[in-house]
Chain A
Amino acid sequence: MKETPLSNCERRFLLRAIEEKKRLDGRQTYDYRNIRISFGTDYGCCIVELGKTRVLGQVSCELVSPKLNRATEGILFFNLELSQMAAPAFEPGRQSDLLVKLNRLLERCLRNSKCIDTESLCVVAGEKVWQIRVDLHLFNHDGNIIDAASIAAIVALCHFRRPDVSVQGDEVTLYTPEERDPVPLSIHHMPICVSFAFFQQGTYLLVDPNEREERVMDGLLVIAMNKHREICTIQSSGGIMLLKDQVLRCSKIAGVKVAEITELILKALENDQKVRKEGGKFGFAESIANQRITAFKMEKAPIDTSDVEEKAEEIIAEAEPPSEVVSTPVLWTPGTAQIGEGVENSWGDLEDSEKEDDEGGGDQAIILDSIKMDTGVEVSGIGSQDAPIILSDSEEEEMIILEPDKNPKKIRTQTTSAKQEKAPSKKPVKRRKKKRAAN
């Protein structure tokens, strides 16, 4: 679907409001929207909601051979997908620019910053390493996808547990989760992206732009930082020219925001771990708020299936037995078999037409070919043996060998006999059989 264009009055309204330091949702210039993190039942699955922007993150692992030039390091793979439900404009072919930009930024933020210790993912040097795959899906696009995605990625990575592996000499033992508790990944630090949107050639800036604000912004500055105030990635797009002190000011703001977000993440991870340890209920089912009228839960419901057998017996007894199907296959030539006779041609008698002539000619040719390839053909009752007999039934006495490009006159005469056999159809042989049945 095409993206709904932003009207001029809406654009002007947003820009005027920003000039007066007002935002449509009532936030301050440096305020983030509410961040909500919920975890699923399997390890490594989480949903992050940044306001209304919603991202699902899932981490999975697999044992693979390492890359040739990095024989002792594990492999990290990131994939952000903009689901079609996130925005009507996200169609499979259409979102490539945005998708590439987001994926690249995410990779730089997480891979190049070396937040995951890839050396610890090595099992047997040069042969087996862990490949950690992070899949992120955007469910709802309400602005600032990159922040939400980076939070989801790092939370999922922190939450994930990989199966335990032990190496004794040449033997490698992979333990299932039942045998030994799965092991968390070794994470050095948590880089989180913070986005700044610039308006009016860099005069005004907003942190965490929502979808409308993103549409009217001039440029975007993304700073990925960890809580130790180390910048992992910085990217400015949109062609705005920023002054040095603007960038420094943004990095200071980012430092504060990242500290807050990291605290939130750690608290959420701790809560989840506590619930799992105590044996309480966890998973997405628990995170559905009970008080909302749009949410509803029903406990386990027993179903009475005692009368199922009687019902089934009844139905089978009352049902008609399956109709007799004569399914003797006829093998015309090696590789060409026929089951059944097909239906009668329901088009009725067609007048002579050019198309019909060609079809008739073509069909006749096929029949004659099959007669020629008669050797080794198994026939039951009816078949190509009879074809010459039928030909003699036609009004034409002489046997005419037809080729599809033969002159039309001859073909036409043959067509009348074809019409007797109920008009040309795709399966001329079946027609022949019908005639026999009628006889």
Chain B
Amino acid sequence: MEEEMHTDAKIRAESGTGSSPRGPGCSLRHFACEQNLLSRPDGSASFLQGDTSVLAGVYGPAEVKVSKEIFNKATLEVILRPKIGLPGVAEKSRERLIRNTCEAVVLGTLHPRTSITVVLQVVSDAGSLLACCLNAACMALVDAGVPMRALFCGVTCALDSDGTLVLDPTSKQEKEARAVLTFALDSVERKLLMSSTKGLYSDTELQQCLAAAQAASQHVFRFYRESLQRRYSKS
């Protein structure tokens, strides 16, 4: 099935490396992650979901400006830069969402009066950008060795006009969807850390999307585990 999709480059350009029409059997796109690819930051990770790619760099725990210092925990800062143009309000709002997620899991009290900076750069955007940013941030924090109480992952669901649920939508699917919901889930009990939604949906649909995201997060956490096992195992 993969070969069929690759014969026509034009269609591929919009559908990405792994999306056939997804029905009740939803699927996540092809994932790839590379850690420690930059030499200057303490931790760095590049996370790819289909054609969406985000690069994250983490500095920390490091020196903090006295004005931003918190006496009993680390100051967490998230910076998100778009690929084209200057950062705007959408980036600021995403930064806040990611920061809230990170603050919930990072054990800041172990490093008081320090700063942990997460810098995210959008390398290419082909749908599910916020989820990809969350995943890249988590992998970069792990690479930097920042103490956390759990790992977290981001999953995006899109609901189209007839109520079909699509996980990990491409930009075309996001544009045509009635509602797009992004959830950040933690790895210990799959609890919800952050949710950001856009569009119209009922509360039943919300619970369905959340349940689907929890099922998808199993795969993402398995991916994290396998990629870290590959890196740290002795064989």
Contacts and interface: CB of A to CB of B under 8 A. Distances in A.
A56 B28 CA distance: 27
A301 B31 CA distance: 9
B165 A300 contact: no
Nearest to B232: A293
Contacts of B18: 299-300
A185 interface: no
A313 interface: yes
Given A1-B59, A308-B215, A298 B30 contact: yes
A306 interface: yes
Contacts of A307: 211
Contacts of A47: 123
Contact of A298 (B32, B41, B124, B167): B32
Given A139-B57, A303-B27, A316-B204, A296 B223 contact: yes
Nearest to B1: A300
B132 interface: no
A300 B27 contact: yes
B203 interface: yes
Given A40-B124, A41-B51, A301 B32 contact: no
Given A84-B117, A303-B26, A298 B226 contact: yes
B66 interface: no
Contacts of A84: 57, 79, 117, 119
Contacts of B41: 85, 140
A133 interface: yes
Contacts of A56: 83, 121, 123
A86 B44 CA distance: 11
Interface stretch (B2-10, B101-109, B173-181): B2-10
A304 B46 CA distance: 27
Interface in A73-131: 81, 83-88
Given A178-B10, A276-B9, A303-B212, A284 B59 contact: no
B156 interface: no
A251 interface: no
Contacts of A281: 6, 17
A433 B231 CA distance: 65
B158 to A, nearest CB: 13
A2 interface: yes
Q: Chain B CB within 10 Å — which of A40, A85, A288 has the most?
A: A85
Interface in B35-75: 35-41, 44, 46, 48, 51, 53, 55-57, 59, 62-63
Interface in B117-155: 117, 119, 121, 123-124, 126
A166 B39 CA distance: 47
A81 B84 contact: no
A316 B17 contact: no
Interface in B88-102: none
Contacts of B21: none
B194 interface: no
B211 A308 contact: yes
Q: How large is the interface on B (under 10, 10 to 19, 20 to 34, 35 or more residues)?
A: 35 or more
A50 interface: no
A52 B38 CA distance: 7
Given A1-B63, A83-B121, A296-B230, A315 B26 contact: no
Contact of B30 (A83, A292, A299): A299
A97 to B, nearest CB: 19
A295 B51 contact: no
B84 A135 contact: yes
Given A288-B32, A297-B30, A306-B24, A279 B62 contact: no
Contacts of B84: 58, 60, 133, 135
Nearest to B85: A135
A315 B207 contact: yes
B25 interface: yes
B38 A313 contact: no
B28 A300 contact: yes
Given A178-B10, A281-B17, A283-B17, A83 B40 contact: no
A142 B40 contact: yes
Given A285-B32, A294-B35, A311 B207 contact: yes
Given A81-B81, A300-B18, A295 B34 contact: yes
A141 B40 contact: yes
9 contacts: A83-B119, A84-B119, A85-B57, A135-B84, A137-B121, A178-B10, A279-B8, A293-B231, A301-B219
* The 7 residue pairs across chains A and B that have the minimum distance between CB atoms: A85-B57, A296-B227, A312-B207, A300-B18, A85-B119, A295-B34, A312-B208
Interface of B: 6-10, 12-13, 16-18, 24-41, 44, 46, 48, 51, 53, 55-57, 59, 62-63, 79, 81, 83-85, 115, 117, 119, 121, 123-124, 126, 165, 167, 203-205, 207-208, 210-212, 215-216, 219, 223, 226-227, 230-231
Given A84-B57, A137-B121, A303-B27, 20 more contacts: A1-B59, A2-B63, A52-B38, A54-B38, A83-B57, A85-B55, A85-B56, A276-B9, A284-B124, A288-B32, A288-B46, A294-B35, A297-B30, A299-B30, A300-B30, A302-B26, A303-B219, A306-B24, A308-B165, A315-B207
